[in-house]
Amino acid sequence: MRGYAAEMLAKQVRQGALDSDFGAGDKELFLDYLRSEGFLTRGDFKYIGAEGRSPDINPGAGLDPGPGKESKPYPLGDILKSRTWQTLRSISNLDQQRTMFEPIGGMDRLPAGFVRNMKPIIKLQHVVEKISQTPTSVTVAYTDGKGQKGSITADYCVCTIPLSVLRGIDLQVSPKFKEAIGGVSYALVGKIGLQMKERFWETNHQIYGGHVYVDDPVIGTISLPSTGWLSQKGVILGFYPHGAAAARMSGMTLAARKAYALAAGQKVFPEYTAANDGSFSIAWHRVPFNMGGWAEWTEEGRAKYYPTLLEPDGRLYLAGEHLSYLTGWQEGGIESAWQQIAKLHKRAMA
């Protein structure tokens, strides 16, 4: 895509169509840039394939030059219709950059670190059912894992339950606050992990990590693991649908989801189905304690409801990814918590 676009632009520039846009000497520099950006030929600025493409024949020893035999580019029309160029853009976004940190062992190692240090005060399997307030205290009522009811009373409460769940909980807050809690929708999203007996994408195809973008929105992205290279097994992300496609996926049985994912991957890798020995899929909008992947604020919601939720209602403070501009990222949850704790600290100190 970059090659063809650079070739077309170079043609226009060389014909003088854009002369009025260049300062003195800039036209030649711009053509140099296009030649470099699009991997164009020296003399006539043509795109005929590029070093960046996988060669049909890899460079070898002796009389095997390899790099001289780049594979033939796909026709422009095919590339346009595939829309793969959308991906070139997305990897330049702030939150999709190429250098991203991954905790060893997976994203949940971050909360696991908090749990390690806070274990004595965390109560697991306690489902919050009601939050009530007096002028001097907040009481959180719950049912625990054994069905026992109980409550905790404190001076203040910082509540990090997602708004999608919180709107179904009995809350003693102002009508304005309650309305604001209902003022945001949550992302429909799903994933499936497919465990493979062998890492055929590495051993047979020399692909180490990365994504396969699929135009069926129920599949969306197939992702290959970026850790454990050349080890025995591996888990592939078999689909990652959003919105209506995620709703469609989540209406399928677990077996049907797996079959759907395998059929899609099979079109890309001939080893896919035979190598599979297990799967696990999840639809976040159907998990009772998530009810969605992350908050999706509209511009209107940000203006009308968001500011209300940033302020405490009585002695109740909210925090979480939903109260940040980094929704869908742990960083959003952590930054939001810092902000709310700072407010609470200031108030308590006063």
Q: Which residues bind ligand FAD (CB under 6 A)?
A: 107, 127-128, 160-162, 165, 189, 191, 284, 289-290, 293-294, 320-321, 328-333
Minimum distance between the CB of residue 297 and ligand FAD, rounded to whole angstroms?
A: 14
Q: How far is the CB of 282 from ligand FAD (least distance, A)?
A: 8
Backbone angles phi, psi at 190, to 5 degrees: -145, 160
Q: Shortest Cβ distance from residue 327 to ligand FAD (Å)?
A: 7
Closest CB to ligand FAD among 59 and 228? 228
Q: Looking at beta carbons only, is 165 or 247 nearer to ligand FAD?
A: 165
CA distance 104 to 345: 33
For the bound state, the minimum distance from the C-beta of residue 320 to ligand FAD, rounded and expressed in Å, comes to: 3
Task: State the nearest-atom distance from the C-beta of 332 to ligand FAD, in Å.
Answer: 6
Shortest distance, position 290 Cβ to ligand FAD, whole Å = 6
Nearer to ligand FAD, 49 or 328 (CB): 328
Rounded CA-CA distance 239/249 in Å is 9
- Closest to ligand FAD by CB, 128 or 173: 128
Strands (E), 66-198: 127-133, 138-143, 149-154, 157-159, 170-171, 185-186, 190-196
Are 40 and 68 contacting, i.e. CB atoms less than 8 angstroms apart? no
Closest CB to ligand FAD among 314 and 328? 328
State how far the Cα of 280 lies from the Cα of 278, in Å rounded to an integer. Answer: 7
> What Å distances lie between residue 164 and 34, 49, 125, 169, 182, CA to CA?
49, 50, 19, 10, 8
Q: How far is the CB of 192 from ligand FAD (least distance, A)?
A: 11
How big is the chain by its Cα radius of gyration, in Å?
A: 27
Q: Which two three-digit tokens encode residue 178? A: 């309650």
- Residue closest to ligand FAD when measured from CB atoms: 320
DSSP class of residue 70 equals B
Q: Which is nearer to ligand FAD, 6 or 323 (CB)?
A: 323
- Can you say whether the dihedral through the CA atoms of 191, 327, 248, 84 is positive or negative? negative
Residue (17 or 122) nearer to ligand FAD, CB = 122
Residue 64 CA, distance from chain mean position: 42
